[in-house]
Structure 1
Amino acid sequence: MADGTSRPEKPDWALSGRERADQARAARGLKPRRRRWPWVVLGLVVLGGGALWLRQDRTPAPGAATGTDSPQITLQMLPSELAKVQPAELRDTVKVTGSLAPETQAHLSAEVSGRLASVAVRAGDRVQAGQLLAQIDTETLENTLDQQRANAEATRAQLRLAQTQLERTRSMVKRGVVATSELDSDQASVDQLAASLKALEAQVESAEESIAKARIAAPFSGMISERDVDPGAYVATGTELFSIVDLTRMEFEADVPVRYAPGIHAGQRVELTVEGLGDAAFTGVVDRVNPVAASGTRMLPVYVGLDNPDTQLRGGMFASGLLVMETKADALGVPSEAIRQDPEGTYVLKVVDGVATRQAVQTARTWEGGRVTEVSSGLAAGDIIVAQPLEGLRAGAAIHVIAEPQTE
């Protein structure tokens, strides 16, 4: 030591492993090993400083773009999940179901009794107004007519004689040749014969009408829907013979929940599809509304007329559709599922340059039973919006539109 003093040596049992190794090296004339931990510490300090410098070098300067406004995710969407905003007619509608029937139909029955001499048509035949459908044998009716005509003619002759006698008696009374009572008697005879002739002429007319009624003709143009008799059959008065329908004008009897009754009136439009006719659309107009709900139900019968010029519609077909109760033209409507809410208010996600953007909107009311919401401000015609409440989609997400999947 510098002060001439020496540190007492440690006993062997107190030496560390490193100190024993140094003594062994000294005994062999070698220098003790230098300690390496200061260099390790120095290396760690250098590495830490370099990492800190790199972190500071990558930190953006104040005001520099951070990239937080750029889309964080890209979402693939189908065209059906988007909607283009366009002015359109918004409607309030009610679903209706029911069946079709010809608006004009008739059941023809025999008006006279007799044997059917001929039947000219079958079910499914088209007929014109006045066309012969069946003929009842008129032999008995014609015999009756001949007898009635003969009786009437005989009475007519008797009346002429009685009138001649009355005029003669009246002349004689004026000359005082006969009593006034003779004139009264002749006048009574004339009156009686005139009454008899009138009755007989009525019988003749009735017999002629019976013969005319033996000819069963179509009351209007249409189709025979039922034929209940065959040639040679005897029919009594009132026997049903045919049913005829006019298919050019149909009636749809719709069943509507009675709660909608206050808003239903004649003239409202009804749009229908018919079972068995695919996507073909038919339009009718409410003709009348039953004032009483059907017994045992809460459904109100509503009668809708619709033209059927090509007779494509047939009686008994089942139809369903929409009764248009109220409309608004040239309004902007979006699917109600597209409307979103957050603490800032009502909004939709509008697609701008492929990015979902929050667009605040004001809504007016809902249409189509709540499926469509009218937007009064915030959107313009041509805007593209997200039409469905896709879970996880937020403003700022990039949107990539892909093709609809092909269906086999």
Structure 2
Amino acid sequence: MAKTDGTGDAPGTRDASEKPDWALSRRERRAKARAAAGEPPRKRRGWILWLVLALALAGGAAWYISGGAERLASLRGEEGAEGEVASDAAPTEAAEPADQVMQLLPSELAEVQPARLRETVKATGSLSPSRQLAIPAEVSARVTEVLVRAGDAVEAGQLLVQLDVETLRNQLDQQRATAEATRAQLRLAQTQLERTQSLVGRGLSPESQLDAGQAEVDQLAASLAAQEKAVANAEESLKHARVVAPFVGVISAREVDPGAYVATGTALLSLVDLSTLEFEAAVPVRYTPELAAGQVVELSVEGVAGRDFTGTVDRISPVAIEGTRMLPVYVVIENPEILLRGGMFAAGRVVLEEKEDALGIPADALREDDDGPFVLKRDGDRVVRQPVEVARTWEAGAVVEIAAGLEPGDVIVAQPLDQLRAGSRILVVGEDQ
């Protein structure tokens, strides 16, 4: 142990007053100045503050740890109590499922009844008249009268346009006159030929005159044949001056007005037959093997609310629409009431296959476990497990055909209600209890 003198300073330790000024630290110089001024030395309390702070932190930590443990213990105790309650209640729930009553909406139940099940494919497209014709002028002439307008319904044989007949009659008269003159010349040439033959037979005329007479008769006969054909053409042209409707329909366009001169082939009117329309539908190409002429198509038409129409597949295109995976299918639709018009948009379904009087249920009603497929069937105020045998699905899997296990009139749960179990009690909203 180090020895101390009477001042209590350890050996080798010198008072600041014994040190020269240059050897004093800043703190020692401040202490020396305070001593020279007669002030008491400043006590060093910084270590006390650090000690207090350390003690406070240690106490706070101890308090937090102690409180956290208590809270943790409290929470664990609550969880344990709840677990005990739950474990005590679980056997009761498992043992008594019938005590639970689940409310069901009428829409969550379905009554099984025989129905027509179908497999269909969606088809969309537009309507067009099955017969439409641009009526042309079949003779060059001036239009004297147009008797119809767009939208007019016409009968077969009804006069639509009248062309100028005066010029046509003059042409016909001229052709007839020319043919008549040639006919007279032919008769005269034939008479002369007969006379020449007689003279040649008696040796009174040379053989060359007989040849010349025969050539003249042949030429006149050929000219008369051509002229008679011209007469027939002129008569036909005169008939074509009356433009009539070739079939019953509606005028869809009027292209000329009275006074216009039209050449042969010029379009005068457009006529459509609306009694039968064609629905050009687009169907995904993957259904091609199942499509066939004669299949029924049920459709609704935009603009004709509340009415459904039925058509028949007439033909199927061998080529898909370019740039798509859709196949054109042409459907014939009868339109006796003329409710439909060309250009209307329609959407419908092609019936690929159907079965009458089959038992079908919604696909959501079918359940399955280790024992096989089943449904929840209503039995009074409970539902019971009813095993079923599935025949096949319809409507792209939305409907399941049941081969065995259900009878007409059975009521089943139609929705996938996972919380509903066999044996559960049910209460149907709105039913009299």
Q: TM-score normalized by structure 1?
A: 0.79
Quick check: 1:131 aligned with 2:158? yes
Quick check: 1:376 aligned with 2:421? no
Partner of 2:265: 238
Q: 1:369 and 1:131 mapped to 2: Cα distance? A: 52
Quick check: 1:392 aligned with 2:406? no
Quick check: 1:357 aligned with 2:384? yes
Distance change in 2, residues 1:223/1:349 (3 Å):
same
Q: Which residues in structure 2 correspond to 1:4-403 (within 5 Å)? A: 71-403=98-430
CA distances 1:321-361 after superposition (whole Å, capped 9, x unpaired): 11011122222111111111222221111111132211111
Contact 1:69 1:396 (C-alpha < 8 Å) held by counterparts: no
CA distances 1:133-175 after superposition (whole Å, capped 9, x unpaired): 1111122222211111111111011011111111222222222
After superposing the two structures, state which structure 1 stretch, 331-340 or 77-86, moved more. 77-86
Unpaired stretches in structure 1, ≥5 consecutive residues: 1-65
Q: Secondary structure at the match of 1:388?
A: coil
Q: 2:428 and 2:268 mapped to 1: Cα distance? A: 67
- Letter aligned with residue 333 of structure 1: G
Q: 1:221 and 1:298 mapped to 2: Cα distance? A: 38
**How big is the shift at 1:68?**
5.0
Distance change in 2, residues 1:79/1:170 (3 Å):
farther
In percent, how many aligned pairs have the same letter?
Answer: 61
CA distances 1:218-238 after superposition (whole Å, capped 9, x unpaired): 010111111122222222222
Higher helix content, 1 or 2: 2
Q: Secondary structure at the match of 2:396?
A: helix
Unpaired stretches in structure 2, ≥5 consecutive residues: 1-92
How many residue pairs are counted as aligned between the two chains?
A: 339
CA distances 1:86-141 after superposition (whole Å, capped 9, x unpaired): 12221111000111111111111222222210000011111000101111112222
Structure 1 moving runs of 4+ over 3 Å? 66-70
After superposing the two structures, state which structure 1 stretch, 317-326 or 179-188, moved more. 179-188
Q: 2:96 and 2:195 mapped to 1: Cα distance? A: 129
Q: Secondary structure at the match of 1:196?
A: helix
Distance change in 2, residues 1:69/1:191 (3 Å):
farther
Q: 1:159 and 1:299 mapped to 2: Cα distance? A: 70
CA distances 1:198-251 after superposition (whole Å, capped 9, x unpaired): 111111111111222221110101111111222222222222221111111111
Q: Provide the alpha-carbon RMSD of the alignment.
A: 1.8
After superposing the two structures, state which structure 1 stretch, 164-173 or 333-342, moved more. 164-173
Q: TM-score normalized by structure 2?
A: 0.75
**How big is the shift at 1:317?**
1.0
- Letter aligned with residue 377 of structure 2: K
Q: Secondary structure at the match of 1:162?
A: helix
